[in-house]
Amino acid sequence: MQHFQRPEWVDEAEYPFRSRLFAAPQGNIHYVDEGEGEVLLFVHGNPTWSFMYRHLIRGLSDRYRCIAPDHLGFGLSDKPEGLSYLPQLHADNLARFIEALGLKEITLVIHDWGGPIGFSYALAHPENVKRLIIFNTSCWSLKGVAGAERFSRVVGSPLGHFVCRTFNAFPRFVIPRVMGDRSRLTPEIHQHYIRPFPTPASRQATWMLAKALIGESDWLASLWDRRARLGGIPVQILCGQKDPTFGPDKLARWEEAFPAHNTLAFPEIGHFVAEELGRDAVAPIQTFLTTHQRHPGPA
């Protein structure tokens, strides 16, 4: 176990978990591993980290083993210069992480870019994924979706690169804009999303994933084309309907793909569902986990 010095800005009362490190080929991945029992693996997106899942980890780790890594370039993980930071890199490292820890019969909890990153693992290893819990995300090409194309074009441009790296724009400005109720994002909590990126060089990953929203359309389409491999898996969807990007239309697509879904829609919640719902998400997830015990096996 490598020694890890946690930054002083991390509020131990909000995030009271032991920090651990996994040595990926490109750098150290920070993660938390709390509790015992069935594995719940929380996969975050852009520009968040395992901190976003803290309420679920605290509320479920008395009955489950809750594991939440920070992708390279995010949270408390290393942020080496010169990496692509494309979603395929994170997907490869997630697969390495799961294999190295020997995780079996996993329930994947996915959000934002954590959707395709986790979905990629599930498609490659359907026999090892017991359930899916889906927050606002998509795992298909967004080409032709005007809002997504405009966002990716603007943020992925040289000007967007400058703004992201110079002003830490993604966590500083984008997170509040896609919250359903901005009052839920207190200044203290907001700082936990801003401070993982203290220097321009440390902010490359946030820009790359914004650019990849359209740039990696072929990879995303290849994931969705294989979705039938997971057709029998129990799925719970928790959708924040005030999300301007991943709202009701994306929910309908998930529901069509997984007819045996269990859906909870929240009209006043925005994109960062786990952050906004907080402890209120624990009970419905617990109910889903206890109700759906069957492992369907590979499709």
Furthest-apart CA atoms within the chain: distance in Å: 49
The single residue of 271, 280, 292, 295 carrying the catalytic annotation is 271
The single residue of 90, 192, 243, 292 carrying the catalytic annotation is 243
The single residue of 112, 190, 192, 280 carrying the catalytic annotation is 112
Among this protein's residues, is 112 annotated catalytic?
A: yes
Is the Cβ–Cβ distance between 258 and 235 less than 8 Å? yes
Among this protein's residues, is 62 annotated catalytic?
A: no
Cα separations in angstroms, 29 against 41, 105, 213: 15, 22, 23
Cα separations in angstroms, 202 against 6, 74, 136, 141: 17, 8, 26, 28
Helix (H) or strand (E) holding 60, with range, is: helix 54-60
Closest alpha carbon to 134 in 146, 122, 143: 122
Quote the CA–CA distance of 79 and 68 in Å, as a whole number: 17
Quote the CA–CA distance of 151 and 155 in Å, as a whole number: 6
Among this protein's residues, is 33 annotated catalytic?
A: no
Active site residues: 112, 243, 271
